[in-house]
Structure 1
Amino acid sequence: MENLSSEAAPLLVFLLPGFLSAWIFYGLTSHPKPGQFERTVEALVFTFVVHAATEFVELILQLIGEGWAIGSWTSTSQIVCSVVLAILLGAAVAAAVNKDTFHSWLRKRGFTSRTSHPSEWFCVLDKNPAYVVLQLTDGRRLTGWPKEWPVNPSTGQFYIQMPAWITEGGDPVDLVALDGILIHATDVRWVEVFPEELP
């Protein structure tokens, strides 16, 4: 048993940066977590990138150290460097995904028509901040400003601020006493999005 734990500890230290990057990525984006196998593969890819970057940092510091020595590169320095790089990598990839950086660059060059957002639903509401009308499954209509919205149409809730019910005649009935209303995504049949500038 002691032999197993002594072999597992270095493996966990080796894999930690990749799992840390993946954890930060999913914590900072709206992407739903995939299955265990996909998450493990992503963590291994992150691990490879972090360890390659750590080796590069070590090489650069050794070259600098030939002229101006600060200290020696130890296993502790390597662990600290890999953890810092893992945090930076996870945050950078999350920021790029949230801003649609990779996919927008690929769309401009004709490689894809997709976005980096988890669904078309989320993409439209994220890229076009505007008032919406929620057509509910029971026939009622609610308008307002979507402060929060679900990642996909089958789960989660809308949080609509400045809500107003729309009567059958098309007149809004403002709910001025409320800060907002939570509406479950499954209760919404479709979403109408107004232009950014209301007439």
Structure 2
Amino acid sequence: MSFPSADLVSAVYQLLPGFITAWIFYSLTAHPKKSPFERTIQALIFTAIIKLLVLPLSWSFIWLGSYGWTIGVWNQDTSFIVSAFFAIALGFLFSYFANTGILHANLFPLISATKRTSHPSEWFSAFNEDKCFIYLHFKDGRRLFGWPYEWPDHPDEGHFVILRPEWILEDNQRAPLSLTLKMLIPAKQVRMVEFEKDENDPTYDLDQLQKSTELLLNLRKDDDE
């Protein structure tokens, strides 16, 4: 049985803080995991950032120690412990930025850095930003209304967890499922997701809504004929 070489073990040890940051990031966000090579590059980048944080700290402690202010010895073990602490902190920090989009929404537009969001896809961005009731349009023509308690990270896998579900009938009337606590819907069965506008939205017009409903019902009747 062959064992990894000492150089390989040393390289993994050096990149371990970066791998810790990457592991936390992918565990707490919906971003898909990259290939092994890309993850190694990310770990290298994270490790470089952590080194930039650890080195000034080590210099500061060594400088304070030269004046008699010491709480211990700065050695390889100390450096690893501090690096692991920064790795964990950065993992949670980058996850927070990715999940909230605070940098992409507030800081980056000010400096015209990017128009992209921090979310992995438009699918995830729509569900994350708009907290509202939805209509699930099934591939077989059925429609379901309800509150998305949970939703899949990707449109082709996972399930929707729908609270307060109501079936939408042919005449556009709703049939509440009063005895149903929640419904688990496979994402593969859903053709389209419709987000309901809030009644407090300034563009919400009840008269216009009724006219649109009548037009859609007439259109459906014409299609059936």
What does residue 22 of structure 2 align with? 22
Moved more, 98-107 or 40-49: 98-107
- The CA deviation at 1:189 is 1.4
Partners of 1:107 and 1:114 within 8 A in 2: no
- Could you tell me whether the CA contact under 8 Å between 1:158 and 1:185 is conserved in 2? yes
Q: Structure 1 residues 59, 138: CA separation in 2 closer, same or farther (over 3 Å shift)?
A: same
> Is the alpha carbon distance of 1:53 and 1:139 closer, same or farther for their aligned partners in structure 2, counting shifts above 3 Å?
same
Encode CA deviations 1:53-98: one digit per residue, 9 max, x unaligned.
1112111222333442211201110110111111111111111111
Q: Percent identity over the alignment?
A: 38
Secondary structure of the structure 2 residue equivalent to 1:114? coil
Query: Which one-letter code corresponds to 1:51 in the other structure?
Result: K
2:120 maps to what in 1?
A: 118
1:126 CA drift (Å): 0.7
2:51 corresponds to 1:58: no
Aligned length: 199
1:84 maps to what in 2? Answer: 85
Q: Go from structure 1 to structure 2 and tell me whether the alpha carbon gap of 1:128 and 1:2 turns closer, same or farther (over 3 Å shift).
A: closer
- 1:132 matched to which residue of 2? 134
Structure 1 pair 108–130 and aligned structure 2 pair: CA distance change class (3 A): farther
TM-score by length of 2: 0.81
Preserved contact between residue 129 and residue 196 of structure 1 (Cα < 8 Å): no
Write the letter of the residue equivalent to 1:130. C
- Which residue in the other structure is 2:180 paired with? 178
2:109 alignment partner in structure 1: 107
Rounded Cα–Cα distance in structure 2 between residues aligned with 1:66 and 1:101: 42
Change beyond 3 A, Cα 1:157–1:108: farther
Per the alignment, residue 167 of structure 1 pairs with 169
Q: Structure 1's 77 and 144: CA in aligned 2 closer, same or farther, altered over 3 A?
A: same
Q: Distance in 2 between matches of 1:34 and 1:2?
A: 28
Q: Which residue of 1 aligns with 2:43?
A: 43
82-91 or 97-106: which moved more? Answer: 97-106
Distance 1:69 1:39 in 2: 38
Q: For structure 2, which runs of at least 5 residues remain unmatched after alignment?
A: 201-205, 207-225
In structure 1, the residue corresponding to 2:43 is in which secondary structure?
A: helix
Q: CA deviation at 1:177?
A: 1.7
Q: 1:163, 1:175 within 8 Å by CA — same for their partners in 2?
A: yes
Contact preservation (8 Å) 1:128, 1:196: no
Name the structure, 1 or 2, with higher relative contact order (CA <8 Å, separation 6+).
Answer: 1
Q: CA deviation at 1:158?
A: 1.2
* Offset at residue 29 of structure 1 (A): 0.6
For the aligned residues, what is the CA RMSD? 2.0
Structure 1 portions without partners, runs of 5+: none
Pairwise CA distance, 1:3: 9.5
User: More displaced, 170-179 or 126-135?
Assistant: 170-179
